[in-house]
Structures are given as C-alpha cells and as structure tokens.
Chain A
Amino acid sequence: MKGFLAVYLREILILKNRLGKVLLSFSVNPLLYLFAFGIGLGRGIEVQGVSYLEFLIPGLISATSMLQAFAINVELNVARFYLKIFEEFQSAPISPLTYSLGEIFFGITRAFLSVFIILLIAYFSNVRLNLAPEFFFFLFLNAFVFASLGLTSAMVIKSHGDQTLLTNFIITPMMFLGGTFFPVENAPSLVRPLLEILPLTIVSRNVRSIALFGVYDEKSLIILFGLALLSFCLAYFAVNRAKD
C-alpha cells in the first residue's frame, strides 16, 4: 500500500507544483472545441433530438478523459529516459503491480480533473447533464483503459518522438472518429464497423446516453471491463519487462 501511495503521491506532488499551468492546459482544448463546434455551430442544430452543444459536451468529456489518461505516457517517458526516475522505483522493494496501479490511478486522476473542468464549462454554458454514478463509472473505466495503454506505451516505446507519433496516429484520430463530434451512425457504411469497435465510441455513446437520457447499455459495460482487464495486463507485463 505504501509503495502504491509513493508512486501516486510523487505524481500528485509534481501536479500540485504546476497546478495552474496544468489546469490551464486541460481547459484550452475543450474550450476551443466548444467554441468552434458548439457555440460556432450554435444551439440551432439538432443532433439525435438534442442541441449540438448538448450532444457535444458528453462526447468531449469522454474524449478528453481518454486523452488526459493516455497523456501520462509523455511524462513517464521523460521520467524514465531523461530523469531516470524509473530506476528509483526499480531499485525499491515494490512489485510491478504496485507501480502499475500507482501510475494508472494517477492517469485516472488527471482524466477526472479534465472531466470536472468541462463539467464546469458545461454548467456555465447552461447545459444540464444527468450526472448519475454510471456516468462517472463509464469515465473511470475509460480512463483506466487509456492510462494502462499510456503506461504500456511508455514502457515499450523508448523515444519521445515515437510517443508523439503514437498519439498522432492513434489517439487523435480516435478522438475525432470515436463519436465525439458526430454520431458514428452517420459514418459511411464502409468504415462504420471499425468505428463501432473503438473503445471511445463505446464510452462516448454510453456517457452521452446517461447524461442526456439516463440510460446505458449493459453489454458495453462488460466490453469495457474486458478492455480494462486486457489493457491492465498489457501494462503489467510491459512494466515487468522494462529494464533500462
């Protein structure tokens, strides 16, 4: 437990020391998207029976939680190859499981910080969402999956440049195509099956459904559990194998 606390606390202390900058950077992207797509397109457009702004905000919450959870890979990469901090954890009497959980829960914390910022923006944009426990549970699983993948990539990929490539080629396209800005049902039939199986599509669809109508798909929850388990196993094995 103390090992987990040490890994988690280290990240939290670093976050605390630059909280202002972090909160600002967490707010910039969602604000830009909201301005460009939400306010720019106006409340006049209706999507799936609600205004576009109401449609957009749950998708943006899902996508941002994914981005921020996955983004632990960049700092882990810097800590590992530039600051050599990973050695301090490796030479300590803690297991790869403890280390993995500490980093993944920090990823989840980052994700929820960004979620609360968007919820605040939504509140001031006069968008009212149903914030049921299931809403947060789906986001928790989403953050868990992507923090685990972020940790895996930080352990497997050794260059900072390649980390950015991964974000550019996988995470950013997923953000745009995973049901954040438009309903996946509207996508061309050729690519639709591919978009349907993206984890973000599953999350944004359910988070939106809970936020706007108070319902969710139980099968999606089981799939997300499976993905969380799989991504955690990947992270665990990557940490276990990582030797500087």
Chain B
Amino acid sequence: MHITSPSSCLALKVEDLKKSYKKVQALKGISFELRKGELFSLLGPNGAGKTTTIRILTGLIKPDGGSIFVFGEDITKNYISAKRLIGYVPQHINLDVELTVYENLLIHGLLFGMSLKEIKKRIDELLAFADLAQRRKTKVKDLSGGMKRRLLIVRALLHQPKILLLDEPTVGLDPHIRRKIWHLIKQIQEKGASILLTTHYMEEAEYLSDRVAFIFNGVIHRVGKPRKLIEELGSHVIDIYTDGGVKTEYFQDRQSAERRMFELRGKANSFSLRRTTLEDVFMKIQRVVEGIEKT
C-alpha cells in the first residue's frame, strides 16, 4: 500500500516515471515520494533502475514519461532552475584529478552561480565539516578513496541544495571509511536536508533510512520503514543448512523460533538463530518477484 503525503510535506514527488533504452524498459512507471527532512532509500539489484532514476532526477537523462515535482514544481518542464535545489553525488568519482580540492569546489560553485565570497565561505565550512580542511590545496589524485568520496559529498552540498541525491555513496570503501560516510550523511540529514539514497548495502540502508523502497526490473514492489518491513517478515530467523542448501524460516518472536529449533534437532545438519535484517526482506521480495516463493 502506498500512502500519499500532503504535497506541502514533500521535497520530491515522482509519478509514473518511465524510461526505456532501445528494447529494455529500465523504468516501468515508478512512483514514490521523498518527504522533507527524510532519508529515503531505493534498494535493488544491479540493473533494477536505481541509477536511471537518479540520473533522470539530476537531468542527466530525459524520461520517456511521468512527472517529477520538486517542492511542488514540475521539473520536467524546467530542469535548469530545479537543478539549483538538487545536490548530486554520483556512483563514480567524477572529480578533476589534476585540480586541487579547492579548485574542484570553486568550479562547482561558479557552475551553480554562487559569488566568489559565498563560495569561499562555504568551502571553509564544508571542508571543516567533512574533516578535509587540511587537504584544501591537495590535488585530488593524491587523496585516498574515502577522502574523494567525502569530497564528492562536500561538492554536492556546496550550493546549499534542499535535496541530496546519493547514488551508492560508499561503494568500494572499507567498512571503517563507510561508517565515517554514514556519520556524515546522518549529520547532513540532521541539518534539514532531504536525502534520496541508492545502495547495495542493506545494513547501510537499515542504519540510515527513514523509509526504503525495493525496486526490481524497473518496478517498485514495496515501500516502508525498515523496522516495520522487518517486523512484518518476523523479528527472528532460522537458517537451516541441509544437503540441498540453506532454507530460511521467519518467526514473529524469539520463543517461537526457539521452539522450532528444538524440533529441528537431529533433523537438519545445522541451523542458526539470528535477528531478521533488511537483507532478509530484500531476499524475500526478490524471491517473490522471481516467482521462487509466494507472497
């Protein structure tokens, strides 16, 4: 069930968005909302349509159909003015490696029509915020992967966008750096930004998101709060290892799961009890979408 919020509460509203590449339908009419101050995640496997959605929202590609409203205004009619409201962090690092941190940010500020005074002030603030102040004069090619990722976020925030689009912002980073980026994203949200995130990492989505949407083959299948979706599936899960593979069973509470474990003694090779995660929800929906399991 998709509950519509009053439009005054919405930062972004996407309605029936469609996009095809030659014969492949990348988006088959998806609709979702990003509420003001919310962190909303689009989750799905490779090729599900996450990046296509983000690239349409940033004006990098044109949709075949549908509407996009940013703070109530249809941006498909005027992308240029809407772009000022959006900050975009791409999946790949598209920084000028030959330029310094400061020079990369200066160019971005000018591209977004900021004055030199304003640019300098924001650069100082944001580099301090992202713990990059010491790297101001460093060439991007000399930064570590984690620093480049943080710089991408700083660049996207420079022109003070109201909506931040994060396309797999932690891809390829080690767990320690990933957590640093999560902390940064949380801080940005606390400052009032509305954030749309795409990610492959379910623990990232579970930790950061207020709501998530699962997208498979260009269709959104479920939308909800991570905790609620997990509870709907069952708070506990038993992974049963048999000769045929791993079978998963979900339980509403620990007691029921423990009763089932008692029954399983001697019947299965081994089994383990754990708490259900968003990854279980993802796997369950994927199996349903692929027709392996029923709803």
Q: Report which A residues bind B (CB closer than 8 A).
A: 2-3, 5-7, 9-10, 13-14, 17-18, 83-85, 87-95, 243-244
Contact = CB atoms under 8 A, between A and B. Distances in A.
Given A10-B107, A95-B80, A243-B60, A2 B113 contact: yes
B110 A91 contact: no
B112 A18 contact: no
17 contacts: A2-B114, A5-B110, A6-B107, A18-B98, A84-B90, A84-B92, A87-B90, A88-B94, A88-B107, A90-B58, A91-B58, A91-B83, A93-B83, A93-B111, A93-B112, A94-B80, A243-B60
Contacts of A85: 94, 96
B284 interface: no
Contacts of B90: 84, 87
Interface of B: 58-62, 80-81, 83-84, 86, 88, 90, 92, 94-99, 103, 106-108, 110-114
Nearest to B113: A2
B151 to A, nearest CB: 12
Contacts of B107: 6, 9-10, 13, 88
Contacts of A3: 110-111, 113
A93 B82 CA distance: 8
A25 to B, nearest CB: 16
A89 B95 CA distance: 12
Given A14-B96, A83-B94, 18 more contacts: A2-B114, A10-B107, A13-B99, A13-B107, A17-B98, A87-B94, A88-B94, A91-B59, A91-B83, A91-B88, A92-B83, A92-B111, A92-B112, A93-B81, A93-B84, A93-B113, A243-B60, A244-B61
A14 B99 contact: yes
B111 A89 contact: yes
Nearest to A99: B111
- Interface pairs A-B: 5 shortest CB-CB: A6-B110, A84-B94, A92-B111, A93-B83, A6-B111
Contact of A83 (B61, B62, B97, B110): B97
Contacts of A5: 110
A209 to B, nearest CB: 41
Dominant secondary structure of chain A at its interface with chain B: helix
A90 B60 CA distance: 6
Contacts of B88: 91
A99 to B, nearest CB: 10
Contact of B62 (A13, A17, A93, A243): A243
A94 B111 contact: yes
Contacts of B111: 2-3, 6-7, 88-89, 92-94
Nearest to A15: B98
B94 A17 contact: no
Question: Which of A10, A14, A17, A95 has most B Cβ within 10 Å?
Answer: A10
Given A2-B113, A92-B111, A94-B111, A244 B92 contact: no
A84 to B, nearest CB: 4
Contact of A91 (B60, B62, B113): B60
A91 B152 CA distance: 13
A7 B111 CA distance: 8
Given A17-B98, A87-B94, A244-B60, A9 B110 contact: yes
A55 to B, nearest CB: 39
A14 B59 contact: no
A83 B96 contact: yes
Nearest to B61: A243
Given A2-B113, A9-B110, A17 B99 contact: yes
Contact of A14 (B86, B92, B98): B98
Contacts of B58: 90-91
